[in-house]
Amino acid sequence: MTEQQAEYGIQKSDIGELQAMSAVTWERNALVFNRIDDRVIEQLSGGLIKFTDGYQAYWGDFWNILELSGYEWTDHVPESIAFNTANNWRRLVKRFPVDIRLSHQNLKVSHYIEANNKKLSDEQAIQLLDHADDLAWTVEMLRAPVKETIGAPEKQPKPKVVECPHCNRYTVYIDPDSGCPWCMLDVADKRIEDMRAVLTEFANPSGDLEWVSGLAARALDEI
């Protein structure tokens, strides 16, 4: 039993009686439903936890048929399976429906999990699974083509740090006309001080109207 199986409380058990249900056809990595009713739901809700192989697809198909049949599928998620995990398994079987899974003879659920990458288109994912099935790839052998198809993420160029010729401070961007952000901050601070001086003079006139008028005009021109 794997660590993941232990985490979800999946234990080996006698599953022969469950697989003898006439309502469900048990296929490799898939459940094909002949009918769905309260009795079938009760049996599967308690029985699927017994499986150690293919259980992700079995659960996904079970929840999918519940939803399609008008049942609330979330009512049948065991406490041992996290809701996000259940959602992932349900999306897995929707992306790779039963007919696709039945067309592959050499794949396990783990192959589908490996190919269920958001960066792969559905067509790319199915093509990779077809190759994996034809060549009997292991999951590890499938992993490399998946990564190659996705491609390495584009590296973002590192910003170049330069010394500003106006203030001799280091920055990653310089406007040739106004200087670096530090220079622009200095200019903004100077404008704020000029406006503060103008407002102070208006509040407490010193009599030098020519000076304050000129300062006010310069400050307004620079805004």
- The domain locations on the chain are 1-96, 104-153, 162-222
Quick one: pLDDT at residue 12? 37
pLDDT at position 211, please?
63
User: Which amino acid would we find at residue 59?
Assistant: W
**Identity of residue 171:** T
Q: For residue 189, what pLDDT is reported?
A: 72
Q: Residue 81 CB: number of other CB atoms within 10 A?
A: 19
Q: At residue 125, what is the residue type?
A: A
Q: What ranges in the chain are assigned the alpha helix state H?
A: 3-7, 16-19, 38-47, 55-68, 83-95, 98-102, 109-115, 122-134, 139-150, 181-203, 209-222
Torsion sign, CA atoms 168, 170, 171, 173: positive
Taken as a whole, the chain contains a residue count of 223
Both tokens of 140, joined, read 């590890």
The helix-helix angle for 122-134 and 139-150 (nearest 10°) equals: 150
* Residue 20, number of CB atoms within 10 A of its CB: 9
Question: Taking the chain, what is the end-to-end CA distance rounded to the nearest angstrom?
Answer: 71
Non-local (6+) Cβ contacts of 141 within 8 A are 132, 135
For residues 89 and 57, the answer to whether their CB atoms sit within 8 Å is yes
Q: Which residues of the chain have pLDDT under 70?
A: 1-15, 152-159, 172-179, 182, 194, 197-199, 201-223
pLDDT at res. 21: 86
pTM: 0.62
